[in-house]
Amino acid sequence: MKSHRFMLPVLLMALATVAFAQSDAQKSDAPKHAMKKSEAPKSQAQKAFENLKALAGNWEGPATVQPPVPEMQNGKPMQVSLRVTSMGNLLMHEMKSEDRPDDPITTIYLDGDQLLLTHYCDAGNRPRMKAKTSPDGKTVEFDFVDITGNTKYGHMHHAVFTAIDENHHTEDWTFILAGDKPMHAHFDLKRVNTVAGK
């Protein structure tokens, strides 16, 4: 009987040792598994999206339009707001000036392995464009894919975002006027600090 009493604690300790060993083995496997997930290389589209999201904030700078149009005076300041929203899945772009009653909205988002832009144009249509990135990653160029809505007054056809540094970027937008005539707008934008006292 004494031997049974002695064996029970030994058996319990052996079981506890096995349980701890299994638990430690699972813990040591978990970081390797998690590491594999985090080490998966990002696609070009994901990298481009991360670079564009770094532009979140308020920007201001002069616009240059070629050929010139009466509605937009060259050198006049434009304001651009870029905001990351939808739990990090969408970059919203708004552009305005003191002459405009409202501002056109542009959204940039990942769709699988593609980075897409949809421009909600004040011409009453919604062109969609697909991104390609420069080798250095600083320029993201969006090429026309398709469009919905009325194109009677023209449509946005091309957009290029170029990061100069964290406080300076440029945007180039190409609008196709009626008769397939392109109009190019260049915006040289500097970050605007909207926090009082800074």
Cα(188)–Cα(75) distance, integer angstroms:
10
197 located within any domain: no
Comparing 26 with 6, the larger pLDDT belongs to 26
Cα(15)–Cα(120) distance, integer angstroms:
65
Identify whether residues 12 and 101 lie together within a single domain: no
Q: pLDDT tens digits, residue range 26-42?
A: 445 545 555 455 668 88
Q: What is the token pair recorded at 158?
A: 């091309």
Q: pLDDT tens digits, residue range 125-162?
A: 999 999 999 988 899 999 999 999 999 999 999 999 99
Among the residue ranges 68-82, 100-114, 121-135, 150-164, the one predicted with the least confidence is 68-82
Comparing 196 with 97, the larger pLDDT belongs to 97
- Residue 174 is part of a domain; what is its CATH number? 2.40.128.20
169 located within any domain: yes
198 located within any domain: no
Identify whether residues 13 and 59 lie together within a single domain: no
Identify whether residues 150 and 169 lie together within a single domain: yes
According to the model, what pLDDT value does residue 20 have?
Answer: 38
> DSSP of 118-161, one letter per residue?
EEE-TTSEEEEEEEEE-TTSSEEEEEEEEEEE--TT-EEEEEEE
Question: Each residue of 16-29: b (16+ CB within 10 Å) or e?
Answer: eeeeeeeeeeeeee
Identify whether residues 16 and 34 lie together within a single domain: yes
**Residue 178: CA count within 13 A, CB half-sphere:** 4
Domain extent, residue 36, equals: 1-40
According to the model, what pLDDT value does residue 69 have?
Answer: 74
Cα(164)–Cα(148) distance, integer angstroms:
33
Identify whether residues 105 and 66 lie together within a single domain: yes
